């Protein structure tokens, strides 16, 4: 059972405002100085237009779920000013296209538009400074993004910067396929806000993006406490991920065991790492020691979970019964801390639903899945703008609440 986690605020509160008020509050928390320095020499039309106002208009496009740039230009000339003077003309569609081409220059390390990445990172730092973003648990997942272009056979698809075919199972276990992309994000479970994002063709496996996303998370939270837990679904069940999270990032991966790899477990242990006694019964979990990184298990006969015909003396002469301790460092995949299957482990893992709600907001309120553009760079720009709008809107709501509390 998934339980909804209480949040500090709700992004939906922002949607209750009038469109003009909502847009004003979101744009007021944006720092567009990184974009102004990089795109200063961009072609902005014969009459000249403010690049900051144009980027604000692109954020407003996501917030108001305006489908195309042409529709955005029409709204700007009618009621959506975004800082443009009432007496002056608004940028044309071709002017926006030239600016978008400038903004789609990507960062080679993570594929995120470098200009917008800096704006995105600044918003994450501001949210962290305000106490909105915590550092205990991070949820990582991907979501399908349907392509705008016409689907093509796999044999005709070449390169890693175009839409491709993807397949995954939905929440009901049904296999679904789509032609398009994947949005991979890391979300803070406390605020349900994105901290890092990457966009790939739909055929990219989720597990390949786990470590790069965690690296981006640690870069974004460079001045803060590092996350302790990284919650992911069983699609990320890989020995490499467990090992990297523990050794490199000093954290713990919370991932259910994938049934396809459940047979690949150490001798003397069950599919989830629980030790098995000499009679083939699962031993009883009896606490963890965080200092030494060990889990303790006791004899199921002594604990009253199994009536052993040989009694506890079969395995141990002590009345306390046989005790087995497992160390996380010996096998990070099988030995979790807290132990997999315990109430504490499940409580932490349930926080993973924060990433599902984040995707829900991005798609339902910020048009993340309503593509009207082609190519990986432009799709990445589209998703990044949606995440910027979500972060800015959430910060605006938090600031408004603080003002009301002071008043």
Q: For residues 131-139, give the mean pLDDT.
A: 89
- pLDDT for residue 46: 57
Measured in whole angstroms, the distance separating CA 82 from the mean position of its chain's CA atoms is 29
Decide if 248 contacts 241 (C-beta within 8 A): no
Among residues 191, 187, 262, 243, the alpha carbon closest in space to that of 220 is found at 187
Q: What is the DSSP letter of 269?
A: B
pLDDT at 229: 95
Whether residues 317 and 225 share a domain: the answer is no
How does the average pLDDT of the chain come out, rounded? 86
pLDDT 10s digits, 331-360: 899 888 888 888 999 999 999 999 999 999
Same domain, 264 and 243: no
Same-domain check for residues 320 and 385: no
Categorize the per-residue pLDDT at 309 as very low, low, confident or very high, splitting at 50, 70 and 90.
confident
Its pTM stands at 0.89
Residue 215 shares a structural domain with residue 281:
no
**Same domain as 118, residue 223:** yes
Query: Model confidence over 29-38: pLDDT tens digits?
Result: 998 888 777 6
Measured between alpha carbons, how far is 20 from 81 in angstroms, rounded to an integer? Answer: 9
Domain end point (choices 334, 365, 396) = 334
What does the pLDDT average to over 190-198?
94
Three-class SS state of 7: coil
61 with 119, same domain: the answer is yes
pLDDT at 224 over 80: no
Amino acid 223: pLDDT: 67
The least confident of 73-77, 103-107, 303-307, 381-385 is 103-107
Q: Which residue segment(s) compose the domain that 66 sits in?
A: 1-256+340-407
Look up residue 19 and give its two tokens: 């469109």
* Confidence at residue 109, expressed as pLDDT on a 0 to 100 scale: 67
Res 201: pLDDT: 95
pLDDT of residue 4: 47
Give SS3 for 169: strand
Cβ–Cβ under 8 Å, residues 178 and 202: yes
pLDDT score, position 393: 93
Bridging pattern class, strands 137-146 and 229-231: parallel
* pLDDT of 212 higher than 70: yes
pLDDT, tens only, 75-121 = 998 888 787 877 778 888 998 998 888 888 777 666 667 888 889 99
Adjacent-strand bridge partners of 386 = none
Looking at the structure, tell me whether residues 281 and 306 fall in a common domain. yes
26 and 49 share a domain? yes
Q: For the chain, how many structural domains are there in total? A: 2
315 and 271 within one domain: yes
CA atoms within 13 A on the CB side of 341: 16
């Amino acid at each position: 059972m998934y339980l909804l986690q209480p949040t500090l605020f709700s992004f939906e509160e922002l949607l209750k405002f009038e469109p003009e008020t909502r847009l004003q509050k979101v744009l007021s928390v944006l720092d567009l100085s990184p974009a102004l320095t990089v795109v200063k020499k961009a072609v902005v039309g014969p009459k000249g237009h403010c690049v900051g106002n144009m980027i604000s208009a692109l954020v407003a496009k996501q917030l108001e779920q305006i489908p195309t740039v042409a529709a955005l230009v029409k709204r700007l000339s009618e009621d959506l000013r975004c800082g443009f003077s009432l007496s002056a003309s608004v940028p044309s569609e071709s002017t926006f296209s030239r600016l978008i081409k400038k903004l789609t220059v990507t960062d080679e390390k993570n594929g995120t538009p470098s200009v917008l990445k800096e704006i995105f990172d600044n918003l994450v730092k501001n949210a962290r400074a305000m106490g909105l973003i915590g550092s205990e648990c991070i949820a990582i997942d991907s979501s399908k993004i349907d392509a705008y272009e016409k689907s093509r056979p796999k044999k005709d698809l070449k390169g890693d910067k175009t839409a491709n075919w993807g397949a995954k199972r939905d929440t009901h276990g049904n296999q679904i396929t789509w032609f398009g992309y994947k949005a991979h994000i890391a979300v803070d479970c406390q605020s349900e806000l994105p901290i890092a994002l990457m966009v790939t063709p739909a055929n990219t496996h989720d597990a390949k993006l786990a470590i790069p996303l965690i690296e981006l998370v640690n870069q974004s939270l460079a001045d803060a406490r590092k996350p302790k837990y990284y919650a992911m679904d069983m699609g990320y069940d890989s020995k490499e991920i467990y090992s990297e999270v523990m050794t490199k990032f000093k954290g713990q991966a919370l991932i259910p065991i994938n049934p396809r790899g459940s047979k690949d477990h150490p001798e003397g242990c069950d599919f989830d790492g629980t030790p098995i006694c000499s009679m083939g019964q699962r031993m009883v979990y009896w606490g963890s020691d965080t200092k030494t990184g060990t889990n303790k298990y006791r004899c199921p006969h002594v604990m009253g979970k199994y009536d052993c015909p040989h009694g506890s003396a079969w395995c141990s002469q002590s009345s306390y019964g046989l005790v087995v301790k497992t160390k996380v460092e010996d096998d990070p995949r099988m030995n979790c801390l807290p132990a997999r299957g315990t109430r504490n482990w499940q409580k932490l893992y349930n926080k993973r639903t924060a990433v599902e709600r984040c995707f829900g907001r991005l798609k339902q309120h910020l048009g993340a899945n309503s593509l009207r553009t082609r190519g990986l760079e432009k799709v990445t720009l589209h998703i990044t703008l949606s995440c910027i709008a979500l972060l800015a809107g959430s910060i605006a709501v938090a600031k408004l609440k603080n003002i009301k509390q002071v008043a």
